[in-house]
Amino acid sequence: MKLKLTSSLFIATINVAFVAGAILLFSTPRFTFVGLLLCVLIVLLLGVDLILLIRDFFRPGTRGRAGVAALLWLPVFFLFGMIQVWEGPVFVEAAGDPPVFQIRGLAGVCGVDVFGPEQENAEWMGDEIGLLWSINHAARFPVEIEFKYGEVPSGFIQVVPAGRTTPAPLHRNTTYKLVLDRCMGGPQTVSLHDATISEYRPSPAACWGQLRVPERQNPAYVRVDCKTHEPLPMSKRAAERLKAYGENRIATY
């Protein structure tokens, strides 16, 4: 069956190829914006294909290809449904001193946290020791944002330090942990050193294990010796938190 440019099946086939291209671009968050532009083209072609589809349904000898073209709309609906719950990675880069961050990705970013080296001494999951700067956004954030460290971008609020206090400056010879709280898919962590973003590698000496708490059904997750898996000695603040967890004054440890 020879397809023409004015065939609903031809347009639907081209659209499926564009859908595959958009998914590939979204999987490489550096090119998210290009993927969104491709989505606009997909919508336009879908409108054109709808007109051709109606015409082919009512023309002799073209109903079969119109039916196949209609089935090829399914990947398009899949793409736009997937966009709403995308959990892929986001792209981040930094430059300058203090660093200017560029963040983009389909998953969106609802918060940004910058931790100092003290974070390696965390004693429980979610321990905010070493947290220098934290900003949050209440809703799903647009795909792309650019902001300087310490300057709260539009739509965000500063959580740490409280109020409008300027966070501690970053030093070029120090490695920081940058946590991107994605709106979908959970946090994404990278390292920041000398305004360069790299893969985050947790300290090999930092191991976690379960500690049974008789008063609670769920165990506490604490730092343990990486070889023996025995809990490490706790600081006073960690012991006080563990006591609060046992007394059901906090939900998690």
As a whole number, mean pLDDT of residues 203-222 equals 87
Cβ atoms within 10 Å, residue 19: 22
Q: Return the pLDDT at 130.
A: 94
Helix boundaries (H) for 63-214: 63-71, 74-84
Q: Return the pLDDT at 140.
A: 65
Q: Return the pLDDT at 13.
A: 93
β-bridge pairing 144-148 and 187-193: unpaired
Measured distance CA(19)–CA(40) in Å, rounded: 11
Measured distance CA(213)–CA(3) in Å, rounded: 69
Measured distance CA(29)–CA(89) in Å, rounded: 7
At 99-120, the pLDDT tens digits run: 999 998 888 888 999 999 999 8
Q: Return the pLDDT at 85.
A: 85
| Strand residues in 116-206 grouped as ranges (E) | 131-136, 144-148, 157-160, 175-182, 187-193, 196-199
Q: Which residue has the higher pLDDT, 4 or 115?
A: 115
Q: Return the pLDDT at 49.
A: 92
At 123-170, the pLDDT tens digits run: 888 899 999 999 998 766 656 889 999 999 888 999 999 888 899 999
DSSP calls for 23-40: HHHHHSGGGHHHHHHHHH
Q: Return the pLDDT at 2.
A: 47
Q: Return the pLDDT at 141.
A: 60
As a whole number, mean pLDDT of residues 8-24 equals 93
At 54-80, the pLDDT tens digits run: 998 888 888 888 899 999 999 999 999
Answer whether residue 177 shows pLDDT above 80: yes
As a whole number, mean pLDDT of residues 204-219 equals 87
Measured distance CA(245)–CA(250) in Å, rounded: 5
> Per-residue confidence at 1, pLDDT binned at 50, 70, 90?
very low
Full-model pTM: 0.79
Q: Look over the chain and give the mean of its residue pLDDT values, rounded to a whole number.
A: 89
Q: Which residue has the higher pLDDT, 241 or 107?
A: 241
DSSP calls for 199-243: E----TT-EEEEE--TT-SSPEEEEE-TTT-PBPPPPHHHHHHHH
Largest CA distance in the chain: 83
Share of residues in the chain with pLDDT > 70 (%): 96
Q: Return the pLDDT at 38.
A: 94
> Per-residue confidence at 180, pLDDT binned at 50, 70, 90?
very high
Q: Return the pLDDT at 137.
A: 86
Q: Give the N- to C-terminal CA distance of the chain in Å, as an integer.
A: 65
Answer whether residue 25 shows pLDDT above 60: yes
